[in-house]
Structure 1
Amino acid sequence: MDWFPSPSRYDAAPFRRCGLSGLDLPPISLGLWHNFGETDVFATARAVVRRAFDRGVTHFDLANNYGTPYGSAERNFGEILRRDFQSHRDELVITTKAGWDMWPGPYGQGGSRKYLLASLDQSLRRMGLDYVDIFYSHRPTPDVPLEETIGALVHAYRQGKALYVGISSYDVAGTLKAAEILQREGVPLLVHQPVYSLLNREIENGLLDALEKIGAGCVVFSPLAQGLLTDKYLSGVPDESRAAKSRYLDKSVITPTLLTVVRELNEIARTRGQSLAQMAIAWTLRDSRVTSSIAGARTVAQLDETLDALKNATFSPEELARIEQSLSALKG
């Protein structure tokens, strides 16, 4: 059956400008790290992407090794593009990254020119695209000169294989140096993608200030702290959770103190008329320097709940104070 996107998809869709560029992004973007691989249900993934677009989500975030097995999220997304979005490509912001392990041997990970440019070509083939909108260096690689890593981004930009370039998980010094190298080459640093959540606030220690100074946007990932900031852990650690399986989340971090804090945050969310997940995502967007928050979705219903976080995205001083009071138990 043919699918046609909602003609009203932009009627109430908010957007935020990404740094000092001309690019606008939705405040909540769809991340395809989980739930879009070969081991997941394609029909569900396709339905989630369609629904996201119908609700004004135009930014889809990928990386070369997303999905199980690696590369399968890009392949599946490419198939969704082919089936449903061929006439809508210019409405989409599609991003990918390279830096973490992708294939065996010394050229299958890191920050070398050889790896980054080969990976981008592979990503484009998997998705059936001529270019991505943003290509990221997925992580700093200390044993590779930063000039080489950033030089590869410049090359991709000049080839037209990436309209913009970004970095992910760089510290303040690395970010400023990357921006300096790019500036010398006449290429702007569009965006930095760091982790950010109520439970990980490291970017508040200088990175947001640095991004504002150089005019780059900030697209944050893991706003739900790998599921900790949902109702999943309110009663302890479920048997099928990521923590129980030590999958992306170490069970040892889930202390009684942390669970108490999460329950207190859940109560604050309840008084706001939100789920904990909705409040956690809205909280990451309270600072205007955060352009977008990347969230995944296992089902269409979960996606809708996530996007409904924008129905109450402002916080009173009293609410922020209560949140800070709850989080204070984790300090020291």
Structure 2
Amino acid sequence: MYQGNSHRYEQMTYNRAGYSGLKLSALGLGLWHNFGSVDPFEKQKKLIHQAFDLGITYYDLANNYGPIPGSAEENFGKIMQDDMRGHRYEMVIATKAGYEMWPGPYGNWASRKSIIASADQSLRRLQLDYVDIFYSHRPDPHTPAEETALALNQLVLEGKALYIGISNYSGSQTARMVRIFQELKTPFIVNQVRYNMFNRDVEQGLFPVLKREKKAAVAFSPLSQGLLTDKYLNGIPADSRAKKTTSPFLHPTQVEQTLVTVRQLNEVAKKRGQTLAEMALAWNLRQNAVASVIVGASRPEQLVDNCQALENLEFSTSELSLIDKILAEQADIAWKAK
């Protein structure tokens, strides 16, 4: 039986999720990749154990994570039953509904039927009575926001979720949901969004709303699919995601267009005594709105390396100015390439 590291809470930072009483580990483990039916189960267990040993308490899933869709929840549920049952109350487990999960008109988006059916299915796969956070994975242009909010609120009333989150909602969409949830007295606490050095739109449109409404952000894709690491500094490795032409998230052109910028950022990281990945994670966490940053991993050692970022979270004004200048030049390059 797995025994957790007794010193795990000494090495992790925990941030309050907005104005709520819930604290999230500064780094959370995302199960989007490497936890599906095609991935070795023993390897998945090692990743979960390593994360918990490092003080990571936030585990981020969705109904369609796999492949096959649903298998990440099933595998996580097995690990919970086999090894982690005694630690359930130390873990913040989140899942989502909103992207296509099953055929037909009800296995997608955010209608009342889709959300409640998906939540029930997720709990069965996870073998849990409740999740700590249940997210609407994306706004639904075909369903009234009130209907989505009422469905999410029902999950709380039925004890299937402790808190509610939304994901990929804009600033204006978030403000509207805040108003509805306030009337319902729903414990809505967080918006999960893509945020990294190459994707900064939320700084202007969303973060001011979260600050005003005392809600938190959870950031995914903090390393921009691996661009903000040292993986591509010397070319594109044969086994990398960018080399796989089937990947819809990263392709060789992106690597080539950002290579000069990544090398400049890497020099800044070196002067800080960090790897580029560590600096990128610390840069995300510099934002007061960001309570947690979701990292993925294919090896336990990657989680250990990522946690090194927490040893240097402070940036000087000159460092931030230099990073902004480098990123502004990259944005100009990207605009001209369109």
TM-score range, shorter chain: over 0.9
Q: How far does the alpha carbon of each residue in 1:250-309 deviate from its partner, in whole angstroms, 9 at most, with x for none?
A: 426516441110111111112222111111111000112210100011111111111111
Tell me by how many angstroms 1:236 deviates: 3.1
Q: Which amino acid aligns with 2:285?
A: L
Please say if 1:303 is aligned against 2:303: yes
Taking the aligned partners of 1:325 and 1:124, their CA distance within structure 2 comes to: 46
Which residue is 1:36 aligned to? 35
Aligned to 1:323, what secondary structure does the other structure show? Answer: helix
Aligned to 1:47, what secondary structure does the other structure show? Answer: helix
Taking the aligned partners of 1:251 and 1:257, their CA distance within structure 2 comes to: 10
* Runs of at least 4 residues off by over 6 Å: none
Counterpart mapping for 1:242-257 below 5 A: 242-245=241-244, 246-251=246-251, 254=254, 256-257=256-257
Q: Which runs of 5+ in 2 are unaligned?
A: 333-338
Contact 1:285–1:291 (CA under 8 A) maintained in structure 2: yes
Which residue is 1:87 aligned to? 86
Aligned to 1:205, what secondary structure does the other structure show? Answer: helix
Q: Which runs of 5+ in 1 are unaligned?
A: none
Contact 1:16–1:26 (CA under 8 A) maintained in structure 2: yes
Question: How many residues align structurally?
Answer: 331
Contact 1:26–1:57 (CA under 8 A) maintained in structure 2: yes
Taking the aligned partners of 1:107 and 1:94, their CA distance within structure 2 comes to: 24
Contact 2:232–2:255 (CA under 8 A) maintained in structure 1: no
| Matched-pair identity in % | 49
Q: How far does the alpha carbon of each residue in 1:298-324 deviate from its partner, in whole angstroms, 9 at most, with x for none?
A: 111111111111111111112112211
Contact 1:226–1:248 (CA under 8 A) maintained in structure 2: no
Q: Which amino acid aligns with 2:182?
A: Q
Which residue is 1:293 aligned to? 293
> Structure 1's 244 and 256: CA in aligned 2 closer, same or farther, altered over 3 A?
closer
Q: How far does the alpha carbon of each residue in 1:226-264 deviate from its partner, in whole angstroms, 9 at most, with x for none?
A: 111112222333333222324142426516441110111
Taking the aligned partners of 1:98 and 1:253, their CA distance within structure 2 comes to: 32
Taking the aligned partners of 1:261 and 1:4, their CA distance within structure 2 comes to: 43
Give me the TM-score of the superposition, normalised by structure 2.
0.95
Q: How far does the alpha carbon of each residue in 1:83-105 deviate from its partner, in whole angstroms, 9 at most, with x for none?
A: 11111111110000000011111
Which residue is 2:17 aligned to? 18
Give me the TM-score of the superposition, normalised by structure 1.
0.96
Taking the aligned partners of 1:90 and 1:6, their CA distance within structure 2 comes to: 16
Contact 1:98–1:138 (CA under 8 A) maintained in structure 2: yes
Contact 2:145–2:177 (CA under 8 A) maintained in structure 1: yes
Taking the aligned partners of 1:237 and 1:147, their CA distance within structure 2 comes to: 46
> Structure 1's 261 and 324: CA in aligned 2 closer, same or farther, altered over 3 A?
same
Q: Which amino acid aligns with 2:189?
A: L
Q: Which amino acid aligns with 2:126?
A: M
Aligned to 1:331, what secondary structure does the other structure show? Answer: helix
Q: How far does the alpha carbon of each residue in 1:96-149 deviate from its partner, in whole angstroms, 9 at most, with x for none?
A: 000001111111111111111111111100010000000000001111111111
Please say if 1:316 is aligned against 2:316: yes
Taking the aligned partners of 2:248 and 2:306, their CA distance within structure 1 comes to: 21
